[in-house]
Amino acid sequence: ARRSLLVGFGGFLPDRVVTNDELAAQLDTSDDWIKTRTGITRRHIAGPNDTATSMGAQAARRALDYAGLTPADIDAVIVGTSTPDQAFPATAVRIQAELGMQQGFGFDLAAACSGFIFALSTADAFIRSGQARNVLVIGSEVYSRIVDWSDRGTCVLFGDGAGAVVLSGTDEPGEAGLLSTHLHSDGTAGDLLYVDGAVGRREMSGHLKMSGRDVFRHAVAKLSSSVDEALKAEGLEYGDVSWLVPHQANIRIIEGVAKKLNLPPERVVITVDRHANTSAASIPLALDEAVRDGRIQKGDLVLMEALGGGLTWGSALARF
Ligand code: ACO
């Protein structure tokens, strides 16, 4: 049967780096508080010209280069984002234009921090059905524009950036490829983490709001079951996982899942210390780092997982 190979990886981070100490100069917080509770030491923050479109297009170019493909080879662009430049056209369609593409199709998908897993799953379904052969899967976010910079409980947690993966269909037999993806959402927990308004509700603040403790509790439980679900679906065990590439929200959530899997820290790809939480961009940014620096090797089994506002959550298993 046809399956999807992960053939290209790219990332983009805005130039400006903001340390915890810089935040502590303006807010009642400290480097120590942020580091101990979250693992975050710094984050990249978008400049005036950085948008979900511009950053996503940069990450996409790098992923195409890695894959040895050009925009003309791409049949679909799927962008996970909660921070599009405009209500429409979709970020994906703007990125198509930036890449000089007039063929294929693109659309955005809103699943908050789980956006990359949802986009990966959607792209895989297009490939398996034969509707697309090469798909650009992008997560691109500018949370610096939706956080309330006077709320120390949330603004310290997030950063900006974009990551991209090229998925490519193959009919050749082989072990490598995306093995399975598992998606969930539950709107009854929607008020634990949300953005207050959007272009359809302009009278609201437009700021991100969060009940941190409750999100934490849901994250550990739901990510653990999502990881079990993925392995069980493939008849695999904890010991088979070579790398955990988690959504990067908080080091303590990541360590909770790694501990459950019995994975030593050196088998977990961590970027949250330097990137903070880049929402839908965090997993493709982490993949890009770990593939390019040689940690993730051909044949490795990679487990990805994420949870975000919705609540949405899910996992993906891939053989590299
Ligand atoms: N600096 C200093 N003090 C702070 C800060 C800050 N930046 N933020 C909150 N505090 C204070 C609070 O006011 C509170 O003070 P009080 O005891 O006097 O009332 C105290 O610190 C403890 O606050 P809590 O919110 O209970 O702190 P907690 O230990 O739960 O840590 C955190 C907060 C880090 C947000 C944690 O709940 C968490 O990681 N939750 C997961 C949420 C998350 O990661 N969300 C990201 C988006 S969802 C996702 O991507 C999975």
Q: Which pLDDT score is estimated for 14?
A: 98
pLDDT in tens, 280-292: 999 999 999 999 9
Q: Who lines ligand 1 at CB under 6 A?
A: 29, 33-34, 37-38, 113, 152-153, 156-157, 193, 210, 212-213, 215-216, 219, 247, 249-250, 277, 307-308
Residue 156 alpha carbon, nearest atom of ligand 1:
7
pLDDT in tens, 249-297: 999 999 999 999 999 999 999 999 999 999 999 999 999 999 999 999 9
pLDDT in tens, 210-263: 999 999 999 999 999 999 999 999 999 999 999 999 999 999 999 999 999 999
Q: Which pLDDT score is estimated for 292?
A: 98
Confidence band for 305, pLDDT divided at 50, 70 and 90? very high
Between the CA of 37 and the centroid of ligand 1 the distance, in Å, is 7
- CB atoms under 10 Å from CB of 37, counted, come to 15
Share of the chain above pLDDT 90, in %: 98
pLDDT in tens, 112-136: 999 999 999 999 999 999 999 999 9
HEC sequence for the chain: CCEEEEEEEEEECCCEEEEHHHHHCCCCCCHHHHHHHHCCCEEEECCCCCCHHHHHHHHHHHHHHHHCCCHHHCCEEEEECCCCCCCCCCHHHHHHHHCCCCCCEEEEECCHHHHHHHHHHHHHHHHHHCCCCEEEEEEEEEHHHCCCCCCHHHHCCECEEEEEEEEEEECCCCCCEEEEEEEEECHHHHHHEEECCCCCCCCCCCCEEECHHHHHHHHHHHHHHHHHHHHHHCCCCHHHCCEEEECCCCHHHHHHHHHHHCCCHHHECCCHHHHCECHHHHHHHHHHHHHHCCCCCCCCEEEEEEEECCCEEEEEEEEC
Q: Ligand 1 pocket test: which of 26, 33, 37, 315 has the largest number of ligand atoms within 8 Å of its C-beta?
A: 37
Q: Which pLDDT score is estimated for 45?
A: 98
Q: Which pLDDT score is estimated for 210?
A: 97
pLDDT in tens, 39-52: 999 999 999 999 99
Q: Which pLDDT score is estimated for 15?
A: 98
Residue with CA closest to ligand 1 atom 12: 153
Q: Which pLDDT score is estimated for 40?
A: 98
Q: Ligand 1 pocket test: which of 82, 215, 254 has the largest number of ligand atoms within 8 Å of its C-beta?
A: 215
Q: Which pLDDT score is estimated for 295?
A: 98
- This model of the complex carries an ipTM of 0.94
This prediction has a pTM of 0.97
Q: Which pLDDT score is estimated for 277?
A: 98
Q: What is the mean pLDDT of residues 18-38?
A: 98
Catalytic residue positions? 113, 247, 277
Residue 219 alpha carbon, nearest atom of ligand 1:
51
Residue with CA closest to ligand 1 atom 50: 249
pLDDT in tens, 141-191: 999 999 999 999 999 999 999 999 999 999 999 999 999 999 999 999 999
